[in-house]
Structure 1
Amino acid sequence: MKRRMCAAFILMWVSTGWCAAAAAQDADGEGREKLPIDIEAARLEYVKEQLIGSGDVVIRHDAMTLKADYASFHPETGVVYARGNVEFTRGDLLWQGEEIRYNLKEKTGDFGRFSMEAGKYHITAGGSERVSERELLLRDVMFTPCEGTPPTISVHAREARLIDRHLIKVRHGTFRVRNMPVMYLPYLKRDLEGGVYNFSAGESGDWGPYALNTFTYNPHSNVVAKTHADAYARRGLGFGQDLRWGRERGEGNLSLYYINDSEPQDDDHATEEYLNESKRYRIHLRHLERLSDYEYAAARLDYWSDPDVVDDFFDDEFRSHSRPENYLAYSWSGRAHTLGARVDAQLNDFEDRVERLPEIALDLYRRPVTDLPLVYRSETEGAYLARRYPGGLRTPVPDDYHSWRLDSAHFLESPQKLYGFLNVIPRAGYRATVYSDTAGGDGDIRHLGELGVLSSFKAYKVLSERERFYGDGLRHLAEPYADYVWRPTPNLRPGDLDLPQDADIYEFDHIDELDEAHDLRFGIRNKLQTRRNGRVEDVLDVDFGTVYRIEPETGEEDYDTLFFHAEFDPVERIHLESDFEYDWYTHEYSPFNARAELMTTDDSRLDMEYRYRENEHDLFEAELNLFPNETWSLGLVTRYDRDEEEWDENGITVRRRFDCVGLGMGYRRSQHDHQIFAYFWVLEFGDTSPRLGI
C-alpha cells in the first residue's frame, strides 16, 4: 500500500526538525520557518534527518508539484533531491529530466539535463540551474516549435535564460535548418507563449530587392501584436507596429507605419508638395464597442501622409479601403426609438469629405395613434455640415461651403389588409429642413410634403417535399409590390452637387437632394426556399423592377432604368450574385456586377468578380486557392481590364508545408510593376501571407 504523510504531520515534522532539535530550539526561544508541503510515496521513511521516499513519489509545495521514482527532503535546509523520471511542474511550466536538486526556501536549484514545454515551443538543455524564483539558467540549450529529430528549424546556444516561464533570452546563438547553421544570432529575446517570426523577400519594379520582417506576439491574452521591420533597396527602411485586440463586447486594431521614402512615386494626380515629401506614414485605428445589448460605439481614424502611401506599400489593403475614413459614432436602440450621434472629419487635406461636427439623429418607430387606424413615425436630425474639397491636387476644385441643418420628417400611415391577402399602406408626410446658410447666402427653411401608397402581397407554392442535392423540400415565394409617391415642388430646390451656385440650397447628402416627384416604383421579388440543417434558407432570391415617372421633367424619359439583383445558392458551398441596371432606351447596362464563390470540403476556393460602370471601369478578376491544407498548395490571381484590353495583374503562389513550417514562393505582375517573392511561416501559428505592394 502506498503510504502518505499528510500535510499537517509533515508540516509539524519540518517546522520542528527532530525532537532533540525542537527541544534545543525551544530552549533558545527561536522558531523555524514553516514549509507547508505534502509528500506521497510507495515507501516513506525518515533517515539521518532526511525524509526519503521511493516509488511514485509526489511532492507538493505552493504552486510546485514534483514527481520522481526517488526523492529525499532535508527539513533543515529545505533542499529536495529527486532522480528517475523526474517531472517538475510550476504554474504552466513543465520540466522533465532524470535528476533535480531544488531548494524550496530559496526557490533555486540545479535541474541537470532536461526537456520542457513552454507555450508552443519544445526546449531541451544539457544542464540547468534555477538561479531565482523567476529565472532558470540553461546550458547547451535548443528550442523549437517543431516535433521532428532533428527539428526542421531550431535555435541553439551555449547559454540561455528562461524568465517567468515564457520569456527566453539567448546570446551568441545560431538559427538552424535541419541542424545546419544558417544564421548567427548575437542576441535573441522571444516570448514563447505567442511570438512567431515571419519573413518574406523578393524583387519588385517599384521597390527593388526587398525583405519584409514581421514578428508576431501576444503582449496580453486579448492582444495580438505585430512588429514590422522592412528594407527596400529603392525606397529605404520602413517600420511598423500593429495591435489587434478583442474581448466579449469589443474589438479593434491599430496600425502604424513609417518610411523615409527615397523615391516617392508619381501617380499623375498629386502635386509637387506630395511628390517631394519623403517622410511617408500611415496611421489606422478602428474600434467597435458593444456597450450593452441596445447600444454600441464605433471609431475609425485614417491619417495618411499622402494619397498614395497605402497604394504604394499596402496594395491588398488599398483595394478594400482606397479612401481614408475618420469618424466617431454612437447608437442606442430602444423599443420605440433609436438615438444616434456621429462625427465625421477631414483629417487628410487631399480627401473629398462632408464633415459632420457633429450630427445627432432621433428616429421614432411606428406607433399607434390613440384608437385611430393610424401609425406615426418620424426622423429628425441636426448637424453642422461642411463640404471640404481636396487640396494639393492638380485639377481645380469648387470652394468649400458649410451650414447648420435641422431636418425633421413626420409620417402618418394606415396599414390595411384587403381581401385577406393584399397589404395596403397609405401615407402622408411633411418634412421641414432648416438651413443656417444657403446658396443665396441667408438662412431659410425648406418645406416638402409627400403623399404615397405602398402595396404588396405574398404567394406561396410547395414545389417539392423530397430531399434533393439543394436541401429538404422546395418552396416558391412571390412578392409583387408597388410604391406610389407624390411630392410637390419645394420652395427650395437642389442643384448640381459640384455647382452649388446653381442651387437654392447646399447639397451635403440625400436629404438635400430630395425634390419634387410623381412616380410609381413597382417590381416583384421571387424566392426559392429549402430547409438545410433544420433552418429555412434561400436557394434563389431575385428582385427586379423599375420606376414609372407619371410626370417626367424636361429631358427625362417615362421609365427609369430596370434594376435587378439576384443571389443563388444551389448548395451550401456555392454562392452566385449579380446586380445591374438596364436602360430601356439606350439598351445599355450600367452598372453591371457579377460575383461567384465556389468552395470545396478541403477548403479550396475560387472567387470570381466582374465589375462594369460606363466610362469608369470594366474589370474582371479571379482568385483561386487550391488545397490550402495539403502538403502542396497553389494560389492564382488575375485581373483583366477590358477598357485597356490588357491584363491588369497576374500572380501565382506555390506553398509547401513541412512538419512544422511552410514555405511559399510566387510571382505577381501588374501594369506598372512586377514582384518575385518568397516567405515562410510556422504552421503552429497559422499561414501568414506576404504583404505585396503592386
Structure 2
Amino acid sequence: MPFFLIIFSFLGIGCPAARAADLTDHLSGDAKVPWQISADTVEYDAANTTYHARGNVVIEKQKTRLVADRVAFNRQAMTASATGNVVMTVDNDVLTGNQIDLDMNHETGVLHDGSIFFNKTHFYIRGQCIEKTGKDTYRAERASVTSCDGDRPDWVITGRQVKVTVEGYGSANHALFKVRQVPVLYTPYILFPVKTKRQSGLLMPEMGYSDRKGVFWDQPIFWAINDSSDATVYVNPMEERGTKVGLEYRYALSDLSFGTIMADGLKDRRTDDGTEETERWAYDDDTYSRPNTDRYWLRAKIDQELPAGFSAYLDLDIVSDQDYLDDFKGGRSGYHRTLDYFESVFDRDLDTLEDNTRTNKLNINQTWSHYVFNADLLWNDNVVKRRWAEEDDTLQQLPVVMFNGLKQEVLDSGLYWDIDSEYTYFYREDGERGHRTDIHPRAYLPLRWNNFLSIEPSVGWRQTTWVMDRRTDDDLSRTSTREIYDFELDLSTEISKIMASPFGIADRIRHSIKPEVVYAYIPEQDQSDLPYFTSSDRIEEANRITYSLTNTFTARMARPAPPSSSPSPGADEPATAPPPSPTLPPQDAETVPSPETVPAFNYHRFCRFYLEQSYNIAAARENEREVLSDIYGELEIDLGRYLSVDADAEYDTYDTRFSAHNVEIRLKDNRGDQLSVEHRYKTRVNKSICGTLSVVLTDRLTVRGEYERNLMEEKDIVQGVGFLYQAQCWGMDVFFADEDGDLSVSVLINLMGVGNIGK
C-alpha cells in the first residue's frame, strides 16, 4: 500500500545536495526538502544496505518525479537502479527506458533502451545504451539524435557512437543523416551544435553559388570572450576569387558604451584592367578599372560614455576600391547585412553602396538644458581620387566645433533668443585650405492675438570670418569677413475637431488643421571674392513668402490596465537576469507604473498630410517667369502593422508635371502576407521601382519574391523568387536571384536544435 517516508531520503541520509545530481542534475534540489516515495511495497536488505521498492513506484521531490515498476537503492554505495517502464521528469525534461542505473557519488548513470528529451533545446537522444559520463556529457551506443517529435521523425542523425555535451556540441561516428527514414548523407564523422547559450565554437556555414564567386563556403568561428564581448572570424573560400577572411568584434560595457568593429579582405584572383579579357569582373556603370588584387573593407561604429556627461560616437568606413562593396554585398559580412545591423543597433547607417566617397567621423557631444556642444573630426575618403587622381581635392573638416544655444527667454521679458556658432578647419591635399568661424545669434518676439493667431517676428545677425592657409588665387585676400542680417515673420494658427471614430479600435479621432505663412528676407550681397567650402559660404538673397498647410489625424484608444505589481522570480525563474548580449546595447528594465499614474488612453497619429509652396517677391520684381516654387507635399499613413504609406512629391506648376516623387507602401495581414512597393522619380536623374512580396500559402509554406528595375534605363537590377518551408523541427529557405547580372541560387536548411546548413 502507498506510504510516505518523510525523514528517509531516497538518495541517502546525510548526503550533501551536490552529490544528489542525476542525469542532468535532475535529482538536485533543496537538501532540507525530503523525498516523497510511494510504492506498493518497500523492503530493506540490511546485509546489503539496500532499499527495494516494488509496484507503482513514484518518487518525487520539488520538480523531480521518477516512476518505475521497481527501484533499488544502495545507501552505502550511493547507487540506485530503476527498472520496468521507467519515466523520469525534471521540469520539462523527460527520460524514458527499460532501466536506469545511477551513481550519485560520481554524478553518472546509464539508461538502457531509452531516450532523453531536453526541453530547452527540444532535443532527443535515443539509443540502446545512453551513458552519462559527466555533469553535462553523454555517450550513446547505436544511437540517434533529432529535434523532431514522434516515432518517425522528419530527420534524424544516427551513429554507432554519439557523444553530446549539453550547451555544447555533439558528434557521431559513422553518421548517417536520414530524412523520413530515407538515408540521404553518410559521413565517417560529424560535429553539430547542441546549445541555446552563446558559446565559443564553429557556427553553421553558408554555402552557395554565383556567377561572380563560383562555389563558395563561408565558415564562421565564434569566440565568446567574456560576458561583455565576443568575436566572430569568417573564413570564406570562393572558387573564382580566392579566400576572404573577416573578423567581427563586439562589446557592450554599459547602456552607453558599446561598439562593433568589422574587417575583411582577400587576395583577389580576378582583376579588371580595362581589357576585354577582364570585363566580366567589371560593372557597367563603373568608368574606372580595378587592377588591384589586395582588397579590403574596414568599418566600425562605437558609442562611448565619457566623463562629465560627454559622449563619443565613432563611424569608420574605409574600402580598398570602388567595386569591393558591389562584389561582396551579400553574405554574413556583406554590405546589406552590415547596414541592417548598424541601423538596428546604433541607429546610424552607411553611405550608399554606389557612393565612392565614404564618410569617417568622430563626434564628441554634450547636451545641457539650454545648450548643445558638438565637436567633429570628419574625413571623407574618396576611393576613386585616392587611387587614380593626380590631385585629390576631397574636402575634409578637421575639426568642426559647434556650440549652440537653444531658444530661451530673456529673464521674464517675453523676448527669446538662440545662437548657432561654428568653427571649422577645412583641409584638402590639393586646393584651398583655411579656417572659418561663423556666429549667428537670433532674437524672437512671440505674440498671440485673441488666443487664435500666433505671430512671431525674428531677426538674426550673421558674422563669418575666413583665415586661409592657402588660396588658389594669390590676388585674393587670405582674411575675409562677411556680415549679413536676416528677418522672418511667422504667422500660424491651428483649428481642430474631435469626432467619433468609425473604427472599432478607437473611440475618438482628432483632426487638426494648421495653416502657416512665413515671410523671409535676406538682403543681396556680393560674395564672389569669399572662399568657398560648403553651401553656407554663399548666402543667397531672399525675399519670399512660404505658405503651408498641415492636416493631422490622431486616434484615441483605451489603454489596457497594467499589472498590479511586477512579478517576483519564482521557482521557474532566475533571481537575476542573465548578462546582456555584447552584440546589442543593454537596455534598462521597464518599470511597471502604478495604476494611478497610467493614462487612461493611448494616442496614435495615423495620418499626416503636408503641403508647401513659396512665392519669390524678388523674382517677381525682376519680371522673371517662375516666381512660384514647386508645390511640395508629404503624406504619412500609419495603420499599425496593416498599412503604412510614406510619400513625398514636388509638383512643377509651370510645366504641370511632377518634378520628383517618392512613394513607399507596406501592407500586411493577419496571416503574415506582406507586400512592400517603393517608386522613386526625379526628372532626368532617377526613375526606379522595387518591391518585395511574401505570401503564406499554408501554415508551413511561404512564397516570396523580390524585384527592382531602373525604369529610366529600362534595366532590371534585381529579380528573385523563392520559398520558405517550415515544419515542426526543420525548415528550408530556397531563393533564386539575378542581381545586376550575377545569377545565384541559395539553399538554407534549418534543423531545429542543430542550426543552419547551406546557403
Q: Give the TM-score of the pair, scaled to structure 1.
A: 0.79
Q: Find the counterpart in structure 2 of residue 235 from structure 1.
A: 241
Matched, 1:450 2:513: no
Task: Please give the residue correspondences for 1:392-541 in structure 2 after superposition, counting only pairs within 5 Å.
Answer: 399-437=430-468, 439=471, 440=476, 442-462=478-498, 464-468=499-503, 471-489=506-524, 493=527, 504-508=530-534, 510-532=535-557, 534-541=601-608
Give the drift of 1:312.
1.7
Alignment match, 1:52: 51
Does the 8 Å contact 1:120/1:684 carry over to 2?
yes
CA contact (8 A) 2:508 2:557 kept: no
Corresponding residue for residue 110 of structure 1: 110
Q: Contact 2:716 / 2:740 at 8 angstroms: preserved in 1?
A: yes
1: distance between equivalents of 2:683 and 2:615?
Answer: 23
Provide closer, same or farther for how the CA distance between residues 445 and 121 of structure 1 changes in structure 2, counting only shifts above 3 A. Answer: farther
Which letter maps to 1:137? Answer: R
| 1:5 aligned partner | 7
Q: Deviations over 1:422-475 (max 9, x none)?
A: 11111122233343427546244433322222221101234x424247954444
Aligned residue for 1:537, secondary structure, equals strand
Say yes or no: does 1:138 pair with 2:124: no
8 Å CA contact retained: 1:197, 1:681? no
The alpha-carbon distance between structure 1 residues 298 and 610, as it changes in their structure 2 partners (threshold 3 A), is: same
- CA deviation map 1:81-112 (0-9, x unaligned): 444525376x9987554433333333344344
- What is the aligned length? 643
Amino acid at match of 2:617: I
Indicate yes or no: 2:412 matched with 1:371: yes
2:37 corresponds to which residue? 41
Compute the displacement of 1:625 (Å): 1.1
Displacement after TM superposition at 1:189 (Å) = 4.8
Compared with structure 1, are the counterparts of its residues 676 and 9 closer, same or farther at alpha carbon in structure 2 (3 Å cutoff)?
Answer: closer
Q: Partner residue of 2:367?
A: 333
> Per the alignment, do residues 237 and 156 of structure 1 end up closer, same or farther by CA in structure 2, a change over 3 Å counting?
farther
Letter in 1 for 2:492: S
Unaligned 5+ residue runs, structure 2?
18-30, 272-280, 340-351, 386-392, 559-600
Asked if structure 1 preserves the Cα contact closer than 8 Å seen for 2:508 and 2:555, the reply is yes
* Cα distance in 2 for residues equivalent to 1:13 and 1:600: 59
Identical columns (%): 17
> What's the CA shift for 1:604?
0.9
Unaligned runs of 5+ in 1: 16-34, 389-398, 494-501
Show the counterpart of 2:748: 679
| Cα 1:437/1:57, change in 2 over 3 Å | same
Q: Structure 2: how far apart are the matches of 1:288 and 1:367?
A: 30
Per-residue CA deviations over 1:558-617 (Å, capped at 9, x if unaligned) read 333222112234686122232122334444533221221111111211111111122321
Moved more, 328-337 or 345-354: 345-354
Q: Is the deviation greater in 612-621 or in 275-284?
A: 275-284
Q: Which residue of 2 aligns with 1:87?
A: 88
Higher relative strand content: 1
Query: For the Cα contact (< 8 Å) 1:108–1:129, is it kept in 2?
Result: yes
Q: Which residue of 2 aligns with 1:386?
A: 427
Q: Is 1:201 matched up with 2:208?
A: yes
Letter in 2 for 1:207: K
Q: 1:386 to 1:82 in 2, by over 3 A?
A: farther
Match of 1:173 among 148, 172, 175: 175
Aligned-pair distance for 1:671?
A: 5.0
2:324 match: 309
- Taking the aligned partners of 1:146 and 1:9, their CA distance within structure 2 comes to 34
The corresponding residue for 1:549 is: 616
Secondary structure of residue in 2 paired with 1:437: strand
| SS of 1:576 mapped into structure 2 | strand
Partner of 1:497: none
Alignment partner, residue 685 of structure 2: 616
Select which of 246, 267, 281 maps to 2:283. 267
Contact 1:196 1:685 in 2 (8 A): no
2: CA distance between counterparts of 1:481 and 1:44? Answer: 94
Could you tell me which residue of structure 2 aligns to residue 192 of structure 1?
195
**Deviation per CA, 1:263-287, whole angstroms, max 9, x where unpaired?**
2422367687x62223333333334
1:643 maps to what in 2?
712
**Which residue identity does 1:360 align to in structure 2?**
V
Checking the alignment, whether the CA contact within 8 Å between 1:193 and 1:218 is kept in structure 2 is: no
Shift of 1:3: 1.0
Cα distance in 2 between the residues matched to 1:332 and 1:530: 36
SS for the counterpart of 2:519 is strand
Residue 300 (str. 1) matches residue 315 (str. 2): yes
- In the TM superposition, residue 343 of structure 1 has moved relative to its aligned partner by 3.3
Structure-1 separation of matches of 2:458 and 2:758: 55
Q: 2:161·2:173 contact (CA, 8 Å) conserved in 1? A: yes
- Report the more deviating stretch, 113-122 or 678-687: 678-687
Taking a change above 3 Å as real, the CA distance of residues 503 and 592 of structure 1, as seen in their structure-2 partners, is farther
Question: Shift of residue 547 of structure 1?
Answer: 2.2
Answer whether contact 2:494 2:512 (CA < 8 A) is retained: yes
- Taking only aligned residues, the RMSD between alpha carbons, in angstroms, comes to 4.2
With structure 2 as the length reference, what TM-score do the two structures score?
0.73
Matched residues in 2 for 1:681 and 1:286: separation?
31
2:155 is aligned with 1:150: no
Letter of the 1:506 partner, please give it: Y
The AA in structure 1 aligned to 2:110 is D
**Cα distance, 1:8 vs structure 2:** 13
Letter in 2 for 1:186: Y
